[in-house]
Amino acid sequence: MAFTAKILLLGSGELGREFVISAKRLGAQVIACDSYAGAPAMQVADGHEVFSMLDADLLAKAIEKHKPDFVVPEIEAIRTEVLADFEARGVTVVPSARATIMTMNRDRIREVAAVELGLRTSRYRYAETLEEVLAGAAHTGLPCVIKPVMSSSGKGQSTVRTARELEAAWTYAVANMRGDRSRVIVEEFIAFDYEITLLTVRSREGVSFCPPIGHRQERGDYQESWQPTPMSSAALSAAQDMARKVVDNLGGYGIFGVEFFVKGEDVIFSELSPRPHDTGMVTLISQNFSEFDLHARAILGLPVPEVRLAGGAASAVILADREADDFRFEGWQRRSRHPAGKSICGCSASRRPGPIAGWAWFWPRRRMRTRHGPLRRRLRARCGLFMGDEGEGPSRPLPQAGGECLGMASTAISS
């Protein structure tokens, strides 16, 4: 069987699964890798490998075994030095080995953005000891945000409001970091009006942008997002200028999720993913080509089409609060339509503790008046997500999500 390209996907979560679907539609063969079996992307890929991608030898062996045309990272926690070696030997690393190295840890990308490119960021210091954390907080002032340099989805992150909480935040960060560097960033807390992800595509044809995505996070983790989100043209163009500078510096082809805080007309660079972004799940319903389609097309060297919005849309996660092998989704078929508009639920098998067990996308039909921050109108969809612990008898509703997922929508286009 002939394929258009062979892709080794490093990380096989929900975002990886959607990427595999997009890449396979373009004729690619995809081998999905992660540290645990049965990961979402493995369920739809042509093959899979289970190993720690932070292990240099195992990572090199997987690349040598499969001889891919493209290595496509889906998470940060990868031994990226190995990718640089293979890039030097002719394997295409997406978007580039430099991009994966610079974004694996927050300190490197912060240096690129704040020092090399002079972009506006929060005030910050790095710390490797409690004493340095205290000095960092003295520099940023309180409240401040403490995050391990290697982590994602808010793991190990805390917002510290009083000096007494600094030690606990340091201990929490070190206990929840990825990788082997006990190093944190201490950041000034930005009391932003709203935050956005600017999906930025870098392809052979140049740099292009998707309409801005607004989102809400809790404890540093994604809850819901909506597209488009209203912002002034001056703020949008400031964000686009900064995004262009960063992606041109990182190089390579693919989609980047560039995160900004916006306060008044002040646009503050936060961080970026050199790949599809969780807040961009909304593009599965809002755009003619999703962030996964755009990533796949840019990587494979295909023309990147103009992005058109189908209407305002929102997406929300359904979070599971514990690891379980035995769970089921109930009732979501009944909820696949909603009186306030069209809502589409996508549910898939869970991943690890704190996992995303499913996603719901909402496509509101009515025009919705909204402000930044908590949105005025809520769409509710009861997905009836149930999870049963092995051997514990009947399934129980998830306490955290309560079997309910909330969608929020902004500036919906009336139909």
Ligand X SMILES: NCC(=O)N[C@@H]1O[C@H](COP(=O)([O-])[O-])[C@@H](O)[C@H]1O
Ligand Y SMILES: Nc1ncnc2c1ncn2[C@@H]1O[C@H](COP(=O)(O)OP(=O)(O)OP(=O)(O)O)[C@@H](O)[C@H]1O
Name the binding residues for Mg(2+): 259, 271
The site partner of 126 among ligand Y, ligand X, none (C-beta below 5 to 8 Å per kind) is: none
The site partner of 18 among ligand Y, ligand X, none (C-beta below 5 to 8 Å per kind) is: none
Q: How many residues bind ligand Y (CB under 6 A)?
A: 20
Give the number of C-alpha atoms closer than 13 A to the C-alpha of residue 188, restricted to the C-beta side.
15
Q: Is 122 in the site for ligand Y (CB under 6 A)?
A: yes
Contact code string over 125-164 relative to ligand Y, x by CB under 6 A: --------------------x-x---xxxx--x-------
Q: In degrees, to the nearest 5, what angle opens at C-alpha 206 toward C-alphas 203 and 207?
A: 90
Rounded Cα distance, 266 and 185, in Å: 22
- Identify whether 95 is preceded by a cis peptide bond (ω within 30 of 0): yes
Rounded Cα distance, 84 and 33, in Å: 18
Q: Closer to ligand X at the Cβ: 145 or 412?
A: 145
Q: Is 282 in the site for ligand X (CB under 6 A)?
A: no
Rounded Cα distance, 387 and 376, in Å: 31
The site partner of 13 among ligand Y, ligand X, none (C-beta below 5 to 8 Å per kind) is: ligand X
The site partner of 122 among ligand X, ligand Y, none (C-beta below 5 to 8 Å per kind) is: ligand Y
Q: Closer to ligand Y at the Cβ: 83 or 109?
A: 109
- Type of residue at 85: D
Q: Closer to ligand X at the Cβ: 222 or 332?
A: 222
Q: Is the separation of the CB atoms in 46 and 69 below 8 Å?
A: no
Contact code string over 144-173 relative to ligand X, x by CB under 6 A: --------xx--------------------
Instruction: Name, in order, each residue with C-beta under 8 angstroms of 393's C-beta and a sequence gap of 6 or more.
Output: none
Cβ-based burial of 241 (10 A; exposed 0-12, middle 13-18, buried ≥19): exposed
Q: Is 13 in the site for ligand X (CB under 6 A)?
A: yes
Query: For ligand Y, which residue of 195, 224, 291, 293 counts as binding (CB under 6 A)?
Result: 195
Q: E strand or H helix at 218, and its extent? A: strand 213-218
Which residues of this protein are in contact with ligand X, per CB under 6 A? Answer: 11, 13-16, 74-75, 152-153, 222, 278
